[in-house]
Structure 1
Amino acid sequence: MAEHDYAARIAWTGNRGQGTASYRGYARTWDVTTPGKPVIHCSNDPLLGGDPALPNPEDLLLASLSACHMLWYLHLASQAGIVVHGYVDDPLGVGETLAGGEGRFLRATLRPAIELAAGADLALADRLHHEVDRYCFIARSVNFPVSVEATYHPR
């Protein structure tokens, strides 16, 4: 077993001069900085007063889940002799907010459209999605169900 460290800095950028003196007096914006990588400017979910033009935590979680799945899928496909020429996912996360403001993800569906080499074994290509959950850090860490509805297109 090996542990891995991941580091990031989250810096609130929404102080408009009065801090949090009033609920509407501050912006729900922040920057994500990871060593040696571009800064990601973020905001809260628009339902909670955030800027709809910026990624929010829910966007980032869903994107991380999808990207992790994709990278492991590509790895497993390569090992299995499945040639992938293209991969685009339009994942959908479903959340709920309770009356007291508590929120959570209920489920996520990954919907990758995968371009495979002509003659690829579609049954094997599909089975590989079920193997990803054994490896993907993100999928192994979330406490909501994640399903995959993949479509395949020959090249």
Structure 2
Amino acid sequence: MSTEHSYTSMITWTGNRGEGTRTYRGYDRTWEIRTPGKATVSCSNDPLLGGDPSLHNPEDLLLSSLASCHMLWYLHLASSAGITVLAYEDCPEAVGETEPSGAGRFLKAVLKPRITVTAGTDLDKADAIHHEIHKVCYIARSVNFPVSFEATYQFA
């Protein structure tokens, strides 16, 4: 039997320059994400849409969430399989499109983890774990675009 989980977050728009949304260019596309007991995350719109390039945007956060979920499941499944992971980093990439109407969406994402394992690890076995993750990863199971991976390995 499945169980439900609930998550909360508070999103607060911080871009009112004094006149609200009276004019389209008269306000900033900035906000804060607050989750109880956690650090505040300052965000902005995608720079392509006039956002602050120094702040996280929704697209950054979605891609990072996807890669983070994949990493956590990889570590779990590797440990269960007797594979010792010593380091893991990922530089995922996503491709999106914007329609003439302004509507956008992700077309695909490619995870590119670089994983350090102990000497003698069976790399075929280590690589096979990635194929199992999308069966269980909360985020990967929730997105409607293809997610692939191109993992590389090194021995420590």
What TM-score does the superposition give when structure 1 sets the normalisation length?
Answer: 0.99
- What are the equivalent positions in structure 2 for 1:5-154 lying under 5 Å apart? 5-154=6-155
Whose helix proportion is higher, 1 or 2? 1
Deviation digits for residues 62-87 of structure 1, max 9, x if unmatched? 00000000000000000000000000
The 1-side partners of 2:52 and 2:145 are apart by: 26
Identical residues among aligned pairs (%): 64
Which contiguous aligned blocks of 4+ residues in structure 1 show a shift greater than 3 angstroms? Answer: none
> Which letter does structure 2 place at the counterpart of 1:75?
H
User: Take 1:41 and 1:66, find their aligned partners in 2: how far apart are those partners?
Assistant: 20
What code does the residue aligned with 2:73 have?
A: W
The runs of 5 or more residues in structure 2 that have no matched partner are: none
Tell me the amino acid that sits aligned with residue 15 of structure 1. N
CA distance in 1, matches of 2:58, 2:94: 12
CA offset at residue 35 of structure 1? 0.8
Q: SS at 2:8's partner residue?
A: coil
How many Å separate the matches in 2 of 1:136 and 1:34?
22
Displacement of 1:135: 1.1
Q: Hey, what's the Cα distance between the residues in 1 that align with 2:99 and 2:135? A: 32
CA distance in 1, matches of 2:89, 2:107: 23
How many Å apart are 1:21 and its aligned residue? 0.2
Corresponding residue pairs, total? 155
**Shift in Å, 1:134:** 1.2
Uncovered stretches (5+) of structure 1, i.e. residues with no partner: none
Aligned AA for 2:152? T
User: TM-score, normalized by length of structure 2?
Assistant: 0.99
State the Cα RMSD in Å.
0.4
How far apart, in 2, do the equivalents of 1:124 and 1:32 lie?
39
